[in-house]
Amino acid sequence: MNNRLDGLFKPNKKILSIYFTAGYPRINDTATILRGLQKSNVDLVEIGMPFSDPLADGPTIQSSSTVALKNGMSTKILFEQLQNIRMDIHLPLIIMGYFNPILQYGVEKFCEECAQIGIDGLIIPDLPLQVYEQSYELYFEKYNLHNIFLITPQTSEGRIQKIDQKSKSFIYMVSSNSVTGSKNRVEDKVLSYFKRVKSQPITSPKLIGFGISNNQTYRTALKFADGVIIGSAFINFLDNNSIEDIGKFIKSIKE
Amino acid sequence: MTFKVDSNGYYGQYGGAFIPEMLYPNIQQLKQSYLQIIGSSAFQNEFQQLLKYYVGRPTPLYFSHRLSKKYGTKIYFKREDLCHTGAHKINNTIGQILLAKYMGKDRIIAETGAGQHGVATASVCALMGVKCIVYMGSVDIKRQSPNVARMKMLGAEVRAATSGSKTLKDATNEAIRDWINNPEKTHYIIGSVVGPHPYPDMVSRFQSVISQELTHQLEFLEGRSFPDYLVACVGGGSNAAGLFYHFLDNPKVTIFCVEAAGHGVNSGKSAATTQLGRPGIIHGSKTLLMQNADGQIQEPHSISAGLDYPGVGPLFAHLKDTKRAHFRAVSDRDAMLWGLELSKMDGIIPAIETSHALGVLESEKFNKDDIIVFGCSGRGDKDLDTYINYFEL
Ligand SMILES: Cc1ncc(COP(=O)(O)O)c(C=O)c1O
């Protein structure tokens, strides 16, 4: 079985990836949101598994996670909702979640289930590279799942090289030293980090995430990377708009 | 069997550093430098001077005549409540503020539950003239208001954590997020033997002054350098780690860890982590933690804010697995009564956290000649409101 992430990146193609929290705003919105995103010509989707203590997330994703958990979302229910999703969703799909729920589910069982559903990759922000290599890489390989690693403005050049070598797909470039959350403009300090990374010999494609929220930040980020990831701004949109209007949001980003 | 951390940061199967990439450089810097800095004679000179003249160490090892008589055994208290700021927490904050200075950090963040660690951090920041921000759950801000006022008076900024259970766990989340947002000049002073490696080991080392002194004091008072029993309350485990440190490898010393049962271990309102928890990841550490089947961290309950934590330091998960220590849980109600007992019998009003430890006097049998040392981790000033309301004083 091919991994849909493998065919995603092409020269001169810019990727728009959207993150949403599964179980938010309502528990059964998962498939509807996925269809809305596919219809709006998004390139890639990250399905967030809500966690009680999301350390790397800002207020928007924190509160969407809290609501999703209150709605009753769990790993098991998410897998049930995704069971037949490949009948009509052809986008590459990534699951993003903190490590403890995955550990409790059983890492191998989790990977197996993802493969069976047709998930292409995982982002586990609090699973460090070294632990991944030592204990879990074998399951990712066995089930042909790509693990997506993060880099930040603090990541050393040497470590970026190491992460680049380990990456089977794209590198998630965290735009600034921060938890998730949307910002209106890209700061100068962040720009110089984008430039620095762009000048480095990195073979993996790069997607910039954290703080991308509108057409301006989207266009700036695209100058330095193969695409962007939008999370908090999309969740804020869902707070005030109906799921049918996802297309409008995507249009406002791409203009 | 060893109870020291291994080179990968583990105690048996527990510990490690499960941190997002954003924190990697900070944790790496700490890991690479802490042993060397702490081991240097310049650091040790400053540390020992401050422990003596600022904290007021050594703290007394106090023999309680009346309790010993009443319970038919020899009862001592290691008086950490007499430390400056009223608890053992300052042993660690003195160590970490010096470490921060050596690492060139000039902004300090901390989390606090009872407010004791917050006050201890705010004090040493004032002492060193550095900026201090303390995260505290909004529930704790209400129930420990005297400590909030103290922190403010000491020049610290107290920021309310309003997510989740609005207690210690959430304050810790907020402090970690702050560190992610401010990685360069900020040092995070964790208040217990929790969090990613090297924190559990580093904080244990700073707290180990307690058992080091105890060794000498017992030698002087009893003619032997170790007790028969050590008893401490365990929230994250820092006062316990300090009290046990030099005795962990001595099988003649029996160790009791007392957790908060809250309304009862199985009541759904409890903080007895080692009984209710399963292995998992909390705040960057693999340890026992209270969680539901889905791996969501559960909200604990204890009347004492300092024990109101759903995890426990990885050392304690290891002590539990290896059966090196015995674990007990004491309810809110019993802890309050033990607090009253110590006040009436010895003229010592303990912190409610500390009061939990005394529960073993009822649950265990001791012989007449047994030497029992309780960690008297803190004083009860901060808990007066709770005591007043509870006993309608
Ligand atoms: C007086 C006192 N004892 C005990 C504790 C519990 O912490 P630990 O288990 O780290 O000693 C606290 C925490 O705030 C405290 O203030």
Selection from B212, B392, B207, B218 nearest residue B313 by Cα: B207
Name the residue of B77, B233, B327, B348 whose CB sits within 8 Å of the most ligand 1 atoms, as the mutation to test its pocket: B233
* DSSP code at position A168: S
Joined tokens for residue B279: 């292995």
CB contacts, 8 Å: B278 with chain A: 104
Instruction: Determine contact: B7 vs chain A, CB below 8 A.
Output: no
Per-residue model confidence (pLDDT) at position B387? 95
* Vertex B139: Cα angle to B133 and B141 (nearest 5): 40
Helices (H) and strands (E) in chain B, counts: 17, 14
Q: How far is the C-alpha of B120 from the C-alpha of B163, rounded, in Å?
A: 24
Question: Could you tell me if residue A234 is inside a domain?
Answer: yes
Question: Could you tell me if residue A207 is inside a domain?
Answer: yes
Q: What share of chain B is helix, strand, coil (3-state, %, to 5)?
A: 50, 20, 30
Evaluate: CB of B258 within 6 angstroms of ligand 1: no
Domain of residue A67 covers 15-254
CB contacts, 8 Å: B183 with chain A: 154, 177
Question: Could you tell me if residue A230 is inside a domain?
Answer: yes
Per-residue model confidence (pLDDT) at position A189? 85
pLDDT at residue B365 above 90?
Answer: yes
State pLDDT tens for residues B313-341: 999 999 999 999 999 999 999 999 999 99
- Contact criterion met (CB below 8 Å) for B208 and B247: no
Per-residue model confidence (pLDDT) at position A176? 80
How buried is residue B170: exposed, middle or buried, by Cβ count under 10 Å (0-12/13-18/19+)?
A: buried
Q: HSE-up of A157 (CA within 13 Å, CB side)? A: 6
Question: Could you tell me if residue A5 is inside a domain?
Answer: no
Residue B90 Cα, ligand 1 centroid: separation in angstroms? 11
Domain B11-50+89-196 identical in fold to domain B56-87+204-391? yes
> Mean pLDDT score of chain B, rounded to an integer?
97
Domain ranges of chain B: 11-50+89-196, 56-87+204-391
- Contact criterion met (CB below 8 Å) for A54 and A64: no
Q: Kindly report the CATH number that applies to the domain delimited by B11-50+89-196.
A: 3.40.50.1100
Per-residue model confidence (pLDDT) at position A177? 78
- The one catalytic residue in B74, B78, B89, B166 is B89
State pLDDT tens for residues A170-211: 999 998 877 887 777 788 888 889 999 999 999 999 999 988
Q: Kindly report the CATH number that applies to the domain delimited by B56-87+204-391.
A: 3.40.50.1100
- The one catalytic residue in A6, A29, A43, A57 is A57
CB contacts, 8 Å: B296 with chain A: 51-52, 69, 101
CATH number of domain containing A100: 3.20.20.70
How many separate domains does chain A show? 1
- Contact criterion met (CB below 8 Å) for B259 and B307: yes
Evaluate: CB of B116 within 6 angstroms of ligand 1: yes
Query: Which of A69, A74, A99 is opposite residue B281, by nearest beta carbon?
Result: A99
State pLDDT tens for residues B268-301: 999 999 999 999 999 999 999 999 999 999 999 9
Helix (H) or strand (E) holding B188: strand B186-189
Say whether A75 sits in a helix, a strand or coil. helix
Question: Could you tell me if residue A40 is inside a domain?
Answer: yes
Say whether A197 sits in a helix, a strand or coil. helix
Residue B56 Cα, ligand 1 centroid: separation in angstroms? 19
pLDDT at residue A155 above 80?
Answer: yes
Q: Are strands A44-48 and A93-96 parallel, antiparallel or unpaired?
A: parallel
Name the residue of B96, B376, B377, B381 whose CB sits within 8 Å of the most ligand 1 atoms, as the mutation to test its pocket: B377
Question: Could you tell me if residue A85 is inside a domain?
Answer: yes
Residue B353 Cα, ligand 1 centroid: separation in angstroms? 6
Q: Would you place residue A148 in the very low, low, confident or very high pLDDT band (cuts 50, 70, 90)?
A: very high
Lowest model confidence (mean pLDDT) among A36-50, A131-145, A166-180, A182-196 = A182-196
